[in-house]
Structure 1
Amino acid sequence: MAQALNPNFDWEPEEGGANKWLVLISIMIGTFMASLDSTIVTVAFPKMMATFGVSIDKIEWVMTAYLMAFAVVLPSSGWIADRFGHKLTYILGLILFTVGSMACSFSQNESFLIAFRVFQGVGAGFLTPVGMAIVTRTFPPRQRGLALGIRSIASAASMSLGPLFGGYLVDNYPWHSIFDINIPVGIIGIIAVVVLQDEYKSHIKEKFDIGGFITMSIGLGALLLAFSTGNSSWNTGGWHSTFIFTNFFIAAVCLIAFITIEMNKKHPILNLKILKYHNFGLATLILFIFGVAFFGNSFLLPLFLQNSLGYTAFQAGLVFLPVGILQAFVAPLSGQFTDRFNPKIPLFTGAIILGITMYLFSFFSLQTMHGQIMLPLYLRGLGMGLFFAPLSAIALNDIPRPQLAQASSLFTTVRQIGGSFGIAALGTILTERVKFHAQIYSEQLRQGSPQYNQVMDHLKNFAMHATGSSSINGQHYAKMMLLNNIKSQAYVQGINDDFLIGAVLTFSLLIPMLLLKTRKKKLNR
């Protein structure tokens, strides 16, 4: 990383240190926690919305704040690790994450919950890159690929187990339990790191890019705030309000300043100059758009399953189980194919499959059957397993070795930022499209028409028999049921629109993919 994992230090493992496999286990604890908390909260959204009495445009910040803090801290984590020690920094990440989890559990309103999710995100921003550096330093070159592959199992497992664990906890306990579960695991992780790991500090000292860090943090925060609050109920001026214009102005000024600082800094927090490499620049653009399309839609399916189809939180989490399993099975095969043949083949195949899954999701209705949900999810697991390995290989293949850590830092940061913007933007679009469809459906109701009277008579008779009410009350219940049905239909259509946007964005990735240049040579990095 630019100010992350120092590319110049000696990566040879230290002789006589702690047992390397026990060190790997201690790292996997933190990796699993950090990855788990980006997926476990999605199935709890409906209960949180009901508890706090808020809509999706507010509760989406529970995930957006976490991903944004993760992305902002990630590039600077390596500088902190090199300066103060890898072991100490990893322990700091575990402490922040565990304390943040405890604070989230005690939150009495959505604002405190969102604020404490930032603490969790900061901790996760330390755990992921520093954990990879510790594994790389601990294992000799001949075992690093195996060790990093085993470490990645923790991330893949969280994709399946996160919604499953979260669903079980939300169904049987208060929503706070999805954060309580992190506390004992975090404590175990801290003890394991203290006992098992050896400390390492880099001998190379660089000045921290404070200007780049501040301008990036403020700029991205202001831009996210503008995108996510354009249609909020409190923002009566909408997209033309002074608040929105002010945030866009602050974002523009800060991001221009950030780019200027990074292009002229000797040791920038994000080395933007490596975007000049053809494949890396295109792959970074692909990853950002994919982050918007895929991670931006990640919260929609649990909402649809629970709010529209009546699934329990556990049932909603259970449908995601095959995704991580398929991805974990396919990803190594995709990596082997990438090493031996043209990596664009699995990359294109994965992108097309993922686009098809988004397109299939855009046909949801209140009558959607379980099989219609599972087929696209099976395809999603297959597509994700095919997509990431070749994209990473193509992106990093032509990067000079001294800049590999910097490129990896930028690559990971862009993915997190894309996910944050996707959740903010698609959450706003969902709110707007639900209003649009509700208005269209309401306008299509022709009161007094034979069809309208026939439907109202059936609903009134049903209400009278079900509740034992009078004809007047039955008429009132009939209108309520009709209006609720309109809201439910509009909600599903809004979700379908978001998935359709995701499909279009995913298929659009095929254009920059065509411009990627590949050579049949094995990676030696």
Structure 2
Amino acid sequence: MNVVTATPIGGRSYKWLVLFNVMLTTFMAVLDSTVVNTGLPVIMGTLGASMNSAEWILTGYMLSMATILPAAGWLSDRFGYKRIFIFSLTVFTVGSFMCGNSTAIGELVFWRIFQGIGGGLLMPVGMAVVTTVFPVEQRGMALGFWAIASAASVSFGPLIGGYLVDNLNWNYIFFVNIPIGIFSIIYTMIVQQEYKTGMRQKFDIPGFITSAVFLPVFLYGLSEVTSSTNTKGWSSPLVLGCMWVAVVSFVLFLYTELTVKHPMINLKIFKDHNFSLANLIVFIFGIGMFGSTFLIPLYMQDSLGYSAYQTGLFFLPVGFLQAVASPLAGNASRWVNPKVVIVLGLFLLCTSFYMNYSFSFLTDKWYIMISLYLRGVGLGILYPPLLNVSLRQISNQQMAQASSVTNIVRQIGGSFGVAMFSHLLSQRQTYHTERYHEAIAYTGETYSNVVDGLSRFFSSSGGLGHTESVSYAKQYILEHVDMEAYISGINDVFFVAFVTTLLAVIPMLFLKTKRK
């Protein structure tokens, strides 16, 4: 085993060979989330699971990822990046095989939790490996290529999931990971060199316990805000209890990490000006971007009548655009001030959200596609230079911890955004429904004329009697009002996403950057 120094390792071709492997595993890890979302209804029907039970297929994976993320840095420093990368690939691949062979909902949830341990390590360790093998001046470009893998999985995930579920079986949404995982394990063993920071510090047990309580409990509380069994939203005793436990454990975590001799996550890393501000931007960006991602599929399927596969086709070019924009933006930040590139990405994202603010049941598909394309380019432009600025002054010895922190912040921001926007959508839909019903004069002449016109149409086209036609006409009006209220609620949430993302400009202005 070769223990190397803090300088980039390997020859000219080595770093690209490693980057290819990390991109492949990133694609696999992110793809697994998107294809599971597509196959969830079929899994529920096959295994006879209720929605409350099926939610744990997603929640269990998320919670186990959150639990292991803080330990990724220590494990990589202690045992070596290559060993932990192989370990995470092995756990993820075995978990995928067992998930695909599950015959009961409880069994599937258990193996999803197991699989999440591998997935939780893959992303931060992979990012740390990329930033270790590339010199500082090329990290932006490398991270741009790394972002291609995530973009591709976003594009192909819904399509692959829909195809596998429709033409084969839901089990194959997990089996698809197995050949990729086996190939990557062998590839890593042969190609990748070992890298260790040389640190021999003890494992921070109090820090791990407090973080293992804080992150899962916090994310579980957020997921329960919009649970089908929770009718009280944020005021639910379970949600409030989770938030209080999360706050207490977070305070204990901060105290532990600031007082122990060898903390699991060295919080002094936040003394780096750019790292702190960039993570604040990642958190704000995560709320707006990942928190609103679920809205467009809901709008297209529930309001416009598109199928899941058709909706996936809309997202296909988004990943390609992001894949093209990411390395270009990462490379451009070498020649121009990265702030310019980051602001451009934020501007495109905000423009996309503002376009979504004017959705209606008559919105043309090209309008939706343009907004999605702007989002894909904006995401590709924003993320690589932001990561590069964030990690520029971080030493290789701290890279694994820094990568773990960034992934944790992004996941918390996205989870918070999903919970907040889901609850907001429900509230705004109720608000608009009441307002629209108040605006309709059900005893007025206009309403009567509309009912008469619709009833005559139903009677002539469907051969219905007068009474039944009138009933259908009134029901049609109520359904149309509810649909308008639903779309208006989605529009309100997109406006909040627009404002939230725009706020990220404030900390961005204080980043210390300069043209190389």
TM-score range, shorter-chain basis?
A: 0.7 to 0.9
Deviation string for 1:302-328 (max 9, x for gaps)?
222222212222221121222222222
Show the counterpart of 2:323.
328
1:339 is matched with which residue?
Answer: 334
User: What does residue 413 of structure 1 align with?
Assistant: 408
* Residue 289 of structure 1: how far off its partner (Å): 0.7
CA gap 1:223/1:404 in 2 versus in 1, 3 angstroms: closer
Secondary structure of the corresponding residue to residue 339 of structure 1 = coil
**Does 284-293 or 420-429 show the bigger shift?**
420-429
Per the TM alignment, residue 254 of structure 1 is displaced from its structure 2 partner at its CA by 0.6
The structural deviation recorded for 1:387 is 1.1
Decide which moves more: 23-32 or 245-254.
23-32
| Aligned mates of 2:45, 2:440 — CA distance in 1 | 29
* SS of match in other structure, 2:333: helix
Aligned residue for 2:90?
95
1:507 to partner: Cα distance: 0.8
Structure 1 residues 384, 418: CA separation in 2 closer, same or farther (over 3 Å shift)? Answer: same
Structure 2 equivalent of residue 452 of structure 1: 447
Give the conservation status (yes or no) of the 8 Å contact 1:68–1:420: no
Aligned with residue 284 of structure 2, among 281, 289, 295: 289
Equivalent residue of 1:91, what SS? helix
Q: Which residue of 2 aligns with 1:513?
A: 508
Q: 1:516 to 1:81 in 2, by over 3 A?
A: closer
Query: 1:477 aligns to what?
Result: 472
Larger mean CA deviation between 223-232 and 322-331 belongs to 223-232
| 1:385/1:85 CA distance change after superposition, 3 Å | closer
Q: Are 1:121 and 2:116 an aligned pair?
A: yes
Shift of 1:472: 3.4
| Match of residue 263, structure 2, among 243, 268, 281 | 268
Paired position in structure 1 for 2:375:
380
Contact 1:456–1:479 (8 Å) recurs in 2: yes
Partner of 2:230: 235
Q: Determine if contact 2:67/2:212 at 8 Å carries over to the other structure.
A: yes
- Counterpart in the other structure of 2:495: 500
Q: Is 2:252 the partner of 1:244?
A: no
Residue aligning to 2:484: 489
The 3-state SS of whatever aligns with 1:340 is coil
Measured in 2, the distance between the counterparts of 1:483 and 1:104 equals: 43
35 and 103 in structure 1: CA distance in 2 versus 1, 3 angstrom threshold: same
What is the deviation of 1:252? Answer: 1.3
CA distance in 2, matches of 1:457, 1:110: 51
Among 205, 211, 221, the alignment partner of 1:226 is 221
Label 1:119 to 1:301 Cα distance change in 2 as closer, same or farther (>3 A).
farther
Deviates more, 1:473-482 or 1:381-390: 473-482
1:163 matched to 2:163? The reply is: no
Contact 1:294 1:502 in 2 (8 A): yes
In structure 1, how many angstroms separate the alpha carbons of the residues matched to 2:53 and 2:303?
A: 19
Amino acid at match of 2:251: I
Match of 1:4 in 2: none
Aligned partners of 1:222 and 1:250 also within 8 Å:
yes
TM-score (normalizing by structure 2): 0.85
1:176-195 → structure 2 map (5 Å cutoff): 176-193=171-188
**RMSD, aligned α-carbons:** 3.7
Could you say if the C-alpha distance between residues 477 and 349 of structure 1 is closer, same or farther in structure 2, counting changes exceeding 3 Å? same
Q: Which segment drifts farther, 213-222 or 369-378?
A: 213-222
- Are the equivalent residues in 2 in contact too, given 1:171–1:313 (CA < 8 A)? no
TM-aligned CA deviation for residue 257 of structure 1: 0.6
Aligned with 1:311 (options 265, 289, 306): 306
Tell whether the 8 Å contact from 1:95 to 1:190 is kept in structure 2 after alignment: yes
Alignment counterpart, residue 362 of structure 1, candidates 351, 354, 357: 357
Q: Is the 8 A contact 1:64 1:420 kept in 2?
A: no
More deviation, 415-424/441-450: 441-450
TM-score, normalising length from structure 1?
0.84
Residue 422 of structure 1 aligns with which residue? 417
Residue by residue over 1:202-252, the C-alpha shift from the partner in whole angstroms, topping out at 9 and shown as x without a partner, is: 653222222222222322332333333345453355543432332222111
SS of the residue 2:218 aligns to: helix
Shifted more, 110-119 versus 290-299: the winner is 110-119
SS of 1:228 mapped into structure 2: helix
User: C-alpha offsets along residues 121-176 of structure 1, whole Å, 9 cap, x if unaligned?
Assistant: 32112222333455667789999888766554433322322233234334545555
Matched positions, count: 512
Once structures 1 and 2 are overlaid, which stretch shifts more, 135-144 or 288-297?
135-144
1:340-372 CA-partner distances (Å, limit 9, x unpaired): 222211111211111111111121111111111
Q: Given residue 368 of structure 1, which amino acid in structure 2 is its aligned partner?
A: T
Distance of 2:494 and 2:507 partners within structure 1: 21
Q: Please say if residues 60 and 427 of structure 1, whose CA atoms lie closer than 8 Å, have aligned partners that are also in contact.
A: no
d(CA) in 2 for partners of 1:487, 1:59: 27
Structure-2 change in CA distance of 1:62 and 1:431 (3 Å): farther
Is the 8 Å Cα contact of residues 93 and 124 (structure 1) preserved in structure 2?
Answer: yes
* Separation (CA, whole Å) in 2 of partners of 1:76 and 1:359: 39
Aligned-pair identity in percent equals: 45
**Matches of 1:291 and 1:265 in 2, distance apart?**
31
Q: What is the alpha-carbon distance in structure 2 between the residues aligned to residue 345 and residue 327 of structure 1?
A: 18
- Alignment check: 8 A CA contact 2:275 2:389 kept: yes
Q: Which amino acid aligns with 2:296?
A: L
| Paired amino acid for 2:246 | A
Is 88-97 or 206-215 further displaced after alignment?
88-97
Q: Which amino acid aligns with 2:286?
A: G
Name structure 1 gaps, 5 residues minimum. 1-6
8 A contact 1:170–1:313 mirrored in 2: no
**Which whole-Å deviations, capped at 9, do the CAs of 1:381-401 have from their partners, x for residues lacking one?**
221222123322332334456
Q: Call closer, same or farther: CA 1:20–1:508 in 2, change over 3 Å.
A: closer
